[in-house]
Structure 1
């Protein structure tokens, strides 16, 4: 069975701008136990049934993407000025820009423009992958791709992507950057719920399964209302076809978020994303990154550190983000930690599906909001407050005990005084002649 790797071939110079990247066969390969493209992406040409793959779905929807000229995007960013730069990654730099609507009518649209570095074939493959996936995927919790630019000119290869602009940057910024206001507890839960729903859609909401493969806080972008949207699909892959248990790929991703079973075997499944989600759940609770080299050695790796504070233990509260200042539901936090633990189970098949994770999170949020104020205020109490309360109770009990002892001594004193008076009266009477 043959499988094909695809690449973009630009024909704009000879045939004008196309509505979508053209996919053309280049080479074939086969992995150890599953047929796939050389970049790890399963295509429908490898399928043993009639299930469509992303490439077929893309061909149907590609016309929805807008094709931009390089000069148009260069002008939108003032020549890719550093002043317009809003981010960077392995793919390249991201700029804020302003473009005219497709019909030329109305006010300019603010967008985010990602520009490929241009060095190496790997970046190009990720660009093609992102165009394919985001050209097909539509969901409230996935960032929207508006269009692309692909030019092979005298100045070299130019590959760019144009997205909707996400005004509040990423979850990573709000959790870990001290320059940002503290992200409130309820907002954290709503953000992570939206992210879970986005992943559940990828895993179970399409006719083909999509494995995200790079879930982390920096890839969860936030709009003006702090609603989350998953971004950066350059490492995404189609899941295994019918009769297969996994996709075999080269191991890629971000250290600290990749599932250990995937790292050890190269076997990629949707439960690999579930593991990554479990890591982010603990980041939400603790306000710590999965790896922080500047902390004491025993605290550098988040997952190893939190093991010392089980969800059902009295010392669990010690892991909670101190920036929350105890403004959270302890019972909800414990339930989220238990959910994270289930996502981080060693055996991939024992981890829950993302749809189950999303349902559980939704229930935790609902229960937390419906709880009585007295219960919530008690559950939100931190360890220090519990210790202070304990000391106050001890003081009150000591005070009561002291009063009881003094009252008892007073009674004894009265009894002694009465006996002394009686003895004195007897003595006086004995002296009378």
Structure 2
């Protein structure tokens, strides 16, 4: 992707959210789809927004994905996104597809916008039908507002086994105009995406065509959302949607625009932070694991290797048990489908160099064990020393609680 200028400084909005960009509002309510928590939410733009999305590559894409794809196929614009938790509406056949289209129609009528300006998403148990009576009444009770509290209600409405809501927002200047971007996501289990990850929504008041927005989204997704793994399972419902309503007022962005790099950096910052929050909130997780691979023959091979290491059950359990067994790391590198020279590998865990040119380094196992015990974010760095490629992946440790949570998921 061509960039004519380095990115301008990006400011993180500590209290920002999906309603921080101009013209966006949100709502979240308890519609009764689950026992007591919020379970239905909406994001709304006061004007139609250029939009782009990426989806799970599962053979069993859920009904909501098909409806969202159908909406975007008309004009590549959206004005509202409806999201429910508790029920994935996946593997539900013709009835499930009809139900998804019906919820799109109900929200369009409620907000007085064309049906094809509505996207729908669902998350929860696979193979169960939506409670359409509660969906219809719940949609009538959705009244989006541009308040932080309403964004928080939306963030909670899209959760399943998540322990925490996930948000991030930034701003920068483009052509002297303030451009804002906010994101919200959910994800805790079934995290091993390929194309998208879980449910993630990004709003921005930047001015950009859907074509160029998709270009940026695809590049950034490959570097962020596609680089996280919790348990190696890919969901039927994974979706990332970006809406850009253009209200910031600058000229349209494209890869040839001198400030294109700033927009891409904003999108990467929001996406990476949401991805890391998903990884940190993995079911039963106690630690975030970051694996950085340098010196590969290409960025793609480095990314693949990093994800192999962070996805290794043996690496994950070693981190959980604070077991300084670096053989787990070298084992994962060994079976990675990439080019490797077995004689040139360096590995560090935190600041502890444990392997140098494939020879055991002089390190303190006691200090390394203490690092694994005491730190909530474990950093693993691998240098293959055969090229210039680099890549990073994020995941979490694997604990006893992961089994407990998933053994009783429906109860």
- Greater share of helix residues, 1 or 2? 1
TM-score by length of 2: 0.27
**What TM-score results when the alignment is normalised by the length of structure 1?**
0.26
Q: Which has the larger radius of gyration?
A: 1
